[in-house]
Structure 1
Amino acid sequence: MMDISTFSAFKSRNYRLYFSGQSISLIGTWMQKTAVSWVIYSETHSKFMLGLTLFASLFPSFIFSFLGGVVSDRYNRYKVLLVTQVASMIQAVLLTLLIFFRHYSVWEIIALSALLGLINAFDVPARQSLVYEMVDDKADLPNALALNSSMVNLSRLIGPGIAGLALEKFGDDICFGLNALSFIAVIGSLLMMKLPKYIPKPHHKNVFGDLKEGFLYIKQTPSIALVLLMLALISLLVLPYSTLIPVYAKDIFKGTASTFGIIDSVIGLGAFCGAIYLASLKPGRNLRKILARNTVIFGVGLVLFSHATNYPLALLFSAVVGFGMMSQITISNTLIQTTVDPAMRGRVISFYAMAFFGMQPLGGLLVGTISQWIGTPDTVLIQGIITLIIGVVLYRFLKKERERKLAMMSFPKSEDKLF
């Protein structure tokens, strides 16, 4: 049962504004994502093109996220975020006009997806870093990050469902148009915020010096390096399963755009439940242990979903997938944000963005290609098995680490007995 601590971050006015504006904008974002996948697959009937679309939308974030992290640490994060949100709105308007006039090719959609990926390279480090400044009581930061995930996943629950209906009843251009309008909410909420006056800091290094400093910091902080490595593996080998959902909707369950929207929404429902669970955790819980357990749940969900031919059962398994998947993103982010040096926040988050956004496009191409060879169900099955292995390895690592700490604690006592 949820208590007041589940929403403790809402005590901060700036965070409340951010949460409300971003919630509306993210529903539009998920509508656009759903519509892009559906349009691409309907036009090409190619699983590889689905992977290529994911690659185009995320790979620019991989290339430029380092620069985005430096910009976030060097300049006013609030202004950077305002600029990226306006740029995202312009991208959505261009995509809407392209679809509305019907004179488009798949490559033009992919090019605009790549443009959004470039914008996100600067948006993500600034937005994630700014959350820290929006929360008045820093003890509420883990709660704010968990609520962020609930917001993302609630929008994933609502957005694809609305998109599926809109695609059938009104046409794909409506999905893109509604996304463009949704940016008014987040830009408005940012303009209403009252943040502390920004004080520019002197910079004694060039951009490459800042990048090197961030990399060395991660290398010398094993707890952060481990989290980033695990997230990179999951993003490369597992998270691109989402590119194959249109195949399940259209070919396996013989459905329509609504079927696709419903599956995506149920994944979002599971992820939303997982985010609320994390938001309800009391301070001091072992997040790495929860991450290992939920990684195993993620793997079990994928294995069960992979060869499901009964639609209601597949929806149940997809909710399990969503619950486990959400932890990869949220707990990783929380572990980083609560331990990182504030001066390194933007750069470390840019490495987080690289691990999350950068590996997925490469994985999308890999998964799209493999599914062409061995089929979609077997591909998702393999992804589930890989996830289980990663979860078990993390469990074993944490167990050995705990045993090592216990041995170190008991060693002086043994010495006392000897002497």
Structure 2
Amino acid sequence: MTSTTTTPAPPPDHGFTPGTARAALSYRSFRIVFIGLAISQIGTWMQNFLLPAYIQERTGRPALVGVSIFVQLGPLLFLSIPGGVLADKVSKQKLMLTMQIASAILTLGTAWLVWQDATVWAIFGVQLLIGTANALNAPAFQSSMPLLVHRQDLAGAISLNSAMINGTRVMGPVTAALLGVFGLSLAQIFLVNAFSYLTFIAALLLVPMPDVKAAVTARGWRQLGVGLKIARERLVLNRLLLGMFSFSAISLAYIGLFPSVAELNFGIDADSSRYRWLYAAWGAGAFAGALSVGTFLSRFHRRVLIVRGFTGFAVSLAVFAMLRDQVSPFFVGFALGFFYFMTATAITTSLQLNMRDGERASVMPLWFMVFGGTVPLGNLAGGVLFEAIGVRPVLLIGAGWALFLAWWLDLRRQPPEAFLSEADGGETP
């Protein structure tokens, strides 16, 4: 398999330190897409925050909370690779627009089902369709978005994107709480989310998204294995993907089951304002951790940040598991969120910088599978284990595994040939 590449453009004269968040924001097209997506993501996180809590309060079953996360994120596990193949065959711009419009319509359906107090299985069915649209959209977006900035500023763009996702993770619950104060019901808040998709759709209509295609010699079903072949032959990609797969499956069960952890460990009701602030504290930590990679931690190499991040996450999760009061989880939760997304952002940046531009549509689906797609599997298993053996043992196992990954994913021990060469745009040692 060979990939098409564009002739590298000369570094832009934006006056900022290359690879920082400020450098990435100097690109007009990136700013427009970034802002449009950020507003849309606030609506998405309102729903992502409220729906699991709604399922927990309505059923009292952590296992069903796990099912709600699985149907939403599970399609990333099964459809990311077909989505990558599709993105290399059709217009990425049109594909993204189609999936965003479909998601907006399906979110209207979710609002109606909640308003009608429909069965949770009907709600799960619509969430599965939304997850499918997201899985088909993600490879097209992630293979186009990095090309809106020069390659030397890619680290800042990825850091900003991660920070935006986690900043909206905080703003979503806060906005939902404010809308609740003004008297909006759960169904009406989901309706607001449906209309928030329009901001990202408008950005996609305003900005022509780059569309680099891979020159793939494989045909038919063999195209599904192109990304696997690239990852297998480049050791750094292999390590990062396997490490994130196991981290998502074993150590991140608490994310989707956050309302269950709050109720069972800390005695905080999932429908209380205290729970919303606890989730916001964790999200604020994740926002700070993601932004740190492109700001005050940008002077440290990402290979160092990955090791320190896994270590900090392991310690934070172990402490979080042992807490039983209703105050200290706010502080430890912030640290947990910080180390989680500092690590994830450093890994994402290293992954992107070890791929050629034409390889992203083939390799990034693997990232969605191991990061987003595996989390719901861990949540599904975690919900069952929460009921069988309790919350604390599950979280402590996740902490122990993160500590192991701090050693196994220390890329400083790998030889130079394990990485994409600097001549091809790879990161410096």
- Give the direction of change, closer, same or farther, for the CA distance of 1:257–1:211 in structure 2 (3 Å limit): same
- What's the counterpart of residue 51 of structure 1? 66
Cα RMSD between the aligned structures? 2.4
**Matched letter for residue 279 of structure 1:** G
Letter in 2 for 1:307: M
The answer as to whether partners of 1:245 and 1:260 remain within 8 angstroms in 2 is no
Separation (CA, whole Å) in 2 of partners of 1:49 and 1:261: 20
Quick check: 2:88–2:214 contact (8 Å CA) kept in 1? no
1:213 paired residue number: 226
* Correspondence for 2:236 among 201, 223, 227: 223
Tell me which residue corresponds to 2:387: 372
Structure 1 residues 389, 211: CA separation in 2 closer, same or farther (over 3 Å shift)?
same
Residue 338 of structure 2: SS of its match in structure 1?
helix
More deviation, 147-156/375-384: 375-384
Look up the equivalent residue of 2:280 and give its one-letter code: S
Matched, 1:242 2:245: no
Letter in 2 for 1:59: G
Instruction: Please give the residue correspondences for 1:389-408 in structure 2 after superposition, counting only pairs within 5 Å.
Output: 389-395=404-410, 398=411, 400-401=413-414
1:280 corresponding residue in structure 2 = 295
Q: Deviations 1:379-411 (Å, cap 9, x if unpaired)? A: 22222222222223334xx46448999xxxxxx
Tell me which residue corresponds to 2:368. 353
Higher alpha-carbon deviation: 307-316 or 284-293 = 284-293
Alpha-carbon separation, structure 2, partners of 1:192 and 1:365: 39
3-state SS in 1 of match to 2:221: helix
Structure 2: distance between partners of 1:377 and 1:369: 13
Letter in structure 1 aligned against 2:378:
G
Residue 412 of structure 1 aligns with which residue? none
SS in 1 for 2:327: helix
1:75 aligns with 2:90: yes
Please state if 1:270 is matched with 2:274: no
Stretch moving more, 309-318 or 252-261: 252-261
Q: Residues 163 and 261 of structure 1 are in contact (CA less than 8 Å); yes or no, is this contact kept in structure 2?
A: no
CA offsets 1:331-355 (integer angstroms, 9 cap, x no match): 2221121121222211100011111
**1:130 and 2:144 aligned:** yes
State the Cα distance separating 1:7 from its structure 2 match: 1.5
Q: CA deviation at 1:281?
A: 5.6
| Residue number in structure 2 paired with 1:191 | 205
Q: 1:140 to 1:379 in 2, by over 3 A?
A: same
**Structure 1 residue 233 corresponds to structure 2 residue 231:** no
Measure how far apart 1:6 and its partner are.
Answer: 3.1
Q: 1:180 to 1:40 in 2, by over 3 A?
A: same
Aligned identity (percent) is: 27
Q: Is the 8 A contact 1:61 1:353 kept in 2?
A: yes
Q: Which of 128, 134, 137 is the matching residue for 1:120?
A: 134
Question: Which residue pairs with 2:175 in the alignment?
Answer: 162
Secondary structure at 2:188's aligned position in 1?
helix
Provide the C-alpha distance between the structure 1 equivalents of 2:312 and 2:245, rounded to a whole number of angstroms. 18
Deviates more, 1:107-116 or 1:68-77: 68-77
User: How far did residue 74 of structure 1 move?
Assistant: 2.5
Distance 2:297 2:255 in 1: 31
Deviation at 1:274, TM superposition (A): 1.0
What whole-Å deviation, never above 9, does each CA across 1:186-219 have from its counterpart, x for those lacking one? 11111111456x6878765434222222221111
SS in 2 for 1:70: helix
Matches within 5 A, 1:277-356: 277-280=292-295, 285-356=300-371
SS at match of 1:74: coil
Letter in 1 for 2:344: I
- Alpha-carbon shift at residue 70 of structure 1 (Å): 1.0
Report the number of matched residues. Answer: 398
CA spacing shift, 1:32–1:353, aligned 2, 3 Å: same
CA spacing shift, 1:118–1:207, aligned 2, 3 Å: farther
Alignment partner of 1:311: what SS?
coil
Amino acid at match of 1:126: A
Match of 1:177 among 182, 191, 195: 191
Question: d(CA) in 2 for partners of 1:88 and 1:149?
Answer: 21
Match of 1:110 in 2: 124
> Do 1:295 and 1:327's aligned partners in 2 also have CA atoms closer than 8 Å?
no
- Offset, 1:325: 0.9
Would the alpha carbon gap of residues 201 and 391 (structure 1) be closer, same or farther in structure 2, given more than 3 Å must change?
Answer: closer
* More deviation, 53-62/166-175: 166-175
**Contact 1:35/1:167, CA 8 A, preserved across alignment:** no
TM-score normalised according to structure 1 size: 0.88
Structure 1, 72-81 or 182-191: larger mean CA deviation: 72-81
What's the offset of the Cα at 1:170? 2.9
Structure 1 position 247, deviation (Å): 2.0
